[in-house]
Amino acid sequence: MNDPDRSSTILSRDGHAFDHLTAIADTVARASTAAAAIDAVADGLSRSLQARVHVFGRTPRGWVFIAQSGGRMHASLGDLNAALQSMGAAAVTSLDLRHAGETVWTSLSLEHSGMPVYVLIAGDWTANEAALTGWALALSFALRCARERAERHTVERTLLHGYMMGRRLSRLGELEAVCERLVDQLGLALHAERVALALYRPEEDRLAIVATSGYPAESVKEVRIEPGAWVVGHVYLSRRPVLVKDAGQIQRPTLEQRRYRTKSFVAVPMLAGGQTVGVLTATDKHDGSPFNEHDARAMRIFSVSAALAIQAARYSAEANRLAYAATIDALTGLFNRHYLDARLHQEIERARRSGTSLTLLLLDIDDFKTVNDTMGHQVGDSILNGVGNVLRSSVRVFDICARLGGDEFAIVLPGSDQARATASAERIRQRIAVQGSFSAVPQLTVSLGVAVFRNNDAAEDLIRRADRLLYLAKAQGKNRVCSGNESAKVERPVFRQSGGGPS
């Protein structure tokens, strides 16, 4: 046990007790983090009082050790916890741990981040209660200054982090990647074990959980939340954040079977202009503490960047879909004439630069006008679609199949010489001739022309030569392939407006 006279001497030694307190409080207030501030309290008191100092805080899960200085404590955790539970509300209290193999300790009650904190000082310092009470008040104020300062810095970092995250998310492009990166980054920023992102799906008029961090998304992929229902639905509909201290008091959906480790919960809406995109939720802080207003503000900051990134990803996906749709023939699913023209110019330039071969195959359905006139356009459309399927399944994945218009098709074959392209054309001709899906027209056949790229060819030259060869195949009796080594002395007549040649 400390000698009271010695205690008084230390606290007032050379009349500098106030200077000691000022130095400690200044160091605490300037700490960059809450943890550093607590460490500064322990180190400063240990040096000034020449005693061991231990700091404990009370969390929803019980008493936890926070910091120490000057040496360890020998009492068991059970004895120490029982002693701490018996502590009163006085600023300075004596704690007798001699029965646990320790000495008498003196406790200073402080306030830190809304959590009761006890600073235990080895020895009996209660004779200096007035001085220690002043120290406790000053250190509590210093801790508050440190906390507020750290929170300001955290807000600044969160703003910068949110801005940078928004830029990174906007570069990801795909919606799924944006959502997954978002929940991972939010979990790191908030020190939250579980984060979820629910997006509103207009086609279902429900919110669906599309990304999770800390637990498998598979466990909630079928969950749908109605606007206005449960916390997520309420946040979505009200467009206002919710900070819950005890999530156990809120009824969960029947499909939600996960058990939370803590009872704190925060949810914020994701707003983009006048539209609510979805809801961000977080539970289970790593340290077991509840979420606070600062965490809710941080999530709001994140939600702004997140909502904009999600909208950008959606717009990008829709733009890509529309751009792709603009290149596709609606009836056959093959590329259209506009896309073929662009790609043919590209492949010609590539073949010219690299010195590789390139062939163009043109195909026309024999007597297709007669089929349309006698059997109707529905049968004609079915035949066109069936021919498109045969073409798609008869070429390589990087070959370009297109419908030029009417009953005329084209295939660009990069890297194929005349022999291989002619063999491909013959294979297509045979497959169409025996294709069972054309049972309405048992004798359906096609004619094909195959032209090989020459180094001085423009796209128009290659198309013109393939077209003449196609007309030659028609003139020679149809249902045949004519390639570049055959003499095309028959002049090709002007195309019909449908884009096809003579039937």
Active-site amino acid positions: 407
| Beta-strand pair 408-414/400-405 | antiparallel
The structure tokens 């249902």 sit at 479
Terminal C-alpha separation, the chain:
113
Taken in order 284, 287, 293, 295, is the CA torsion positive or negative? negative
Q: Check if the beta carbon of residue 210 is closer than 8 Å to that of residue 216.
A: no
What is d(CA 179, CA 174) in angstroms, rounded to the nearest whole number? 9
| CB contact at 8 A, 110 and 117 | yes
- Tokens describing residue 94: 């004596």
Contact criterion met (CB below 8 Å) for 327 and 335: yes
Q: How many residues are recorded in the chain? A: 503
Residue 275: phi and psi, rounded to 5, are -110, 140
CB 279 within 8 A of CB 242: no
Residue 240 gets the label, from left (phi > 0), alpha (psi -120 to 50) or beta, of beta
* CA 244 – CA 264 distance, rounded (Å): 6
Matching residue, tokens 């195909």: 363
Pair of tokens at residue 417 = 């010489």
Please report which residue ranges of 355-476 form alpha helices under DSSP H.
368-375, 377-394, 418-433, 459-475
Concatenated DSSP letters of 482-499 = EETTS---SPPPPPPTTS
- Cα–Cα distance, 220 to 69 (Å, whole number): 47
Query: Shortest CA distance to 33 belongs to which of 108, 112, 110?
Result: 112
Structure tokens at 77: 């955790």
Helix (H, G, I), strand (E, B) or coil at 126: helix
181: closest CA among 298, 284, 305, 317?
305
Alpha helix (H) ranges present in 30-123?
34-49, 77-85
477 three-state secondary structure: coil
